[in-house]
Amino acid sequence: MSRAKKPAVAGEAIHYRIAAADPHAHLFEVTLRVSEPDADGQILALPAWIPGSYMIREFARHIVSISGRCGTRPVRITKIDKHTWLAERVSEPLVVEYTVYAWDLSVRAAHLDATHGFLNASSVCLRAIGQEARPCTVDLIAPPTPIGQNWRVATTLPEDGAKRYGFGRYRAADYDALIDHPIEMGRFAIASFEAGGAEHEIAVTGQSDVDLARLTRDLAPLCAAQAALFEPTTQRAPFDRYLFLTTAVGEGYGGLEHRDSTALLCGRSDLPFAGMRNQSEGYRGFLGLASHEYFHAWHVKRIKPAAFVRYDLDQEVYTRLLWIFEGFTSYYDDLMLVRSGLISRDDYLTLLGKTISGVLRGPGRQVQSVADSSFDAWVKYYRQDENSPNSIVSYYAKGALVALAIDLAVRARTNGQASLDDAMRLLWQRHGVGFYSSQGGPGAAQSGLAEDGFASALREATGVSLGAALNRWVEGTEELPLAKLFAPLGVTLKLTAPDASPSLGVRLAMRSGDLAIASAYSGGAAQRAGLSAGDLLLACDGLRIDEKALKGLLSRRQPGDTVVLHAFRRDELMRFEVQLDAPAASEASLVAAAGPNTLREDWLSAVSRKARAARRPARVRA
């Protein structure tokens, strides 16, 4: 019996047909069928943003043309705001046909050419307002031959007739699920492994000589360690299947988390190749990225800020907690690499030192707290400009350091009996477990973490109240007391100047062959002398300069010396007398003392003493 002859069932209330129709023009052709359109006229909209990336992106600007019909009769579609349309009232199923321009090679939107297609449904599938909770089906149609020959599909959308990796019919429990399973189509390489009781796959798109066996060998223990962190008893992941969708390009870096998958973008040289002996820095970065996005499957895709439990896709959704959801994830991403044996302890301390240095280099840490940075992510962190180093602190990097500070403080105060891991497990049990009901979206009882809920959760999970100190770290701008917190672990934090030369207080960049000031740091030597971001530097003390020559000249000066810089601003030649500063001690290095330290051992080990004890089988009474 063909599906068409069956009476309309809930599963077919909303149906999309997505055809990779014109790869050369980068156009998807989409047909949306709404079985029971709103009696007052059906409103249709594309999300203004994609969850996980906190910026208004107006995906609807890429809808090129749109029309409606009911049977063969045309239906008027009126645009009512930048991303919303109104279809006139019809009493029969409404069919809407539209084309979407897909030429955004990021993990956030859609991309289509003759080599592959990638899409987030948030860029391609109009949502029928009022019907978001209804299940939907999606038919994926390959490009015309010969382009589409041997193309396959990789997605964690459940198959609904399509074969694994095949074109054909998939389904989603609701609109929220539909936009949370990105889709790759093309001639990717794919490999699979088991971890945490779940099937895992990694698909790699783009020409590369990737060593898939090495990738799966490395990712398996990493994934297993994360599942064991949240579920030390069962060690099970909260999904049956997980997919790493990876696109390898010349140069690129990015990732976006989803409930059962992640979309990753990386440089092809960052992937391991057959015969690669050492772990390259690029590959370590790739593993850190994979670790970060995978951690999000628990933390932000299931444990959520209360504001994210049901997203408003039309506008910004504010929370002051991204330092927890992105910062803690950034803390655990590299930590899980060392805990699962993928990097050495020395390598881990080096990576952590880099994070500390990165935060110390930005004067913005002295004016913005991580909570404020979280709230303003939409207009500040995601929309950076030349003044951002002076005005923004990263809720990723400083959030990771706040996580570190909390973890170290709890470990020291409880003599290693408790840690941030315990707080993660409590958040998981309280907010994360079973987040997605079998019917799709969050169960009615699901709640997220309240804006003021973390301190009490930490106290409950660990017995430690960090009180006013925690508040200062999160809401304040003073430096974190990391050196003091590291002491009980036998780790010394050293701060030195990155180089001995006196400082101009600028970040430099090449602009069309000219040496330019990208940012002038607050209160720095250049800014005090009147130099600005955008100024093109020509000469220092009468000598023509490029970056190397400038560095050489500065290395012969002392802090307090004055140099004369010539620069163009708006094509006008200007002269500046700059009194040089002493270089700031912003380079952090962490050194572990020789000899054993139980606290440090526990911190960097996969399973803490406490969890080991908990895992011992209980004695059965005779």
Please say which residue, 326 or 587, places its beta carbon nearer to Zn ion: 326
Shortest Cβ distance from residue 396 to Zn ion (Å)?
7
Closest residue to bound Zn ion by CB: 326
Please say which residue, 181 or 566, places its beta carbon nearer to Zn ion: 181
| CA distances in angstroms from 390 to 16, 160, 576, listed in the order given | 46, 52, 21
Shortest Cβ distance from residue 226 to Zn ion (Å)?
14
Q: At what angle do helices 420-427 and 328-339 cross, to 10 degrees?
A: 120
Please say which residue, 254 or 481, places its beta carbon nearer to Zn ion: 254
Please say which residue, 38 or 180, places its beta carbon nearer to Zn ion: 180
| CA distances in angstroms from 481 to 110, 188, 493, listed in the order given | 44, 47, 10
Task: Assess contact for 47 and 63: CB atoms under 8 A.
Answer: no
Shortest Cβ distance from residue 327 to Zn ion (Å)?
9
Shortest Cβ distance from residue 333 to Zn ion (Å)?
8
Shortest Cβ distance from residue 588 to Zn ion (Å)?
23
| DSSP-derived secondary structure for 325-389 | IIIHHHHHHHHHHHHTTSS-HHHHHHHHHHHHHHHHH-GGGGT--HHHHHHTTTTTTTS--TTHH
Shortest Cβ distance from residue 57 to Zn ion (Å)?
17
Task: Assess contact for 366 and 477: CB atoms under 8 A.
Answer: yes
Element (H, E) at 34: strand 27-34
Angle at alpha carbon of residue 28, lines to 27 and 29, rounded to 5° = 115
Please say which residue, 330 or 369, places its beta carbon nearer to Zn ion: 330
Please say which residue, 174 or 326, places its beta carbon nearer to Zn ion: 326
Please say which residue, 326 or 421, places its beta carbon nearer to Zn ion: 326
Q: Is the dihedral of CA 323, 328, 329, 330 positive or negative?
A: positive
Shortest Cβ distance from residue 296 to Zn ion (Å)?
6
Shortest Cβ distance from residue 257 to Zn ion (Å)?
6
Please say which residue, 373 or 501, places its beta carbon nearer to Zn ion: 373
Shortest Cβ distance from residue 292 to Zn ion (Å)?
5
For the sheet containing 168-172, what is the strand order? 73-75, 63-70, 94-101, 27-34, 14-22, 136-141, 168-172
| DSSP-derived secondary structure for 277-309 | -S--HHHHHHHHHHHHHHHHTTBTTTB-BGGGS
Which of 523, 53, 77, 468 lies closest to 265 in space, CA to CA? 53
Quote the CA–CA distance of 420 and 559 in Å, as a whole number: 43
Shortest Cβ distance from residue 266 to Zn ion (Å)?
15
Q: Would you tell me which residues interact with Zn ion (CB under 5 A)?
A: 326
Shortest Cβ distance from residue 395 to Zn ion (Å)?
10
Please say which residue, 396 or 521, places its beta carbon nearer to Zn ion: 396
Element (H, E) at 42: strand 42-45
Please say which residue, 326 or 407, places its beta carbon nearer to Zn ion: 326
Q: Is the dihedral of CA 522, 526, 530, 532 positive or negative?
A: negative
Shortest Cβ distance from residue 51 to Zn ion (Å)?
11
Q: What is the dihedral of CA 547, 549, 550, 553, to 10 degrees?
A: 160
Please say which residue, 204 or 324, places its beta carbon nearer to Zn ion: 324
Instruction: Using the CB atoms, write b or e for 397-427: b if 16+ within 10 Å.
Output: bbbbbbbbbbbbbbbbbbebbbbbbbbbbbb
Which of 297, 272, 290, 301 lies closest to 337 in space, CA to CA? 290
Please say which residue, 113 or 260, places its beta carbon nearer to Zn ion: 260
Task: Assess contact for 232 and 275: CB atoms under 8 A.
Answer: no
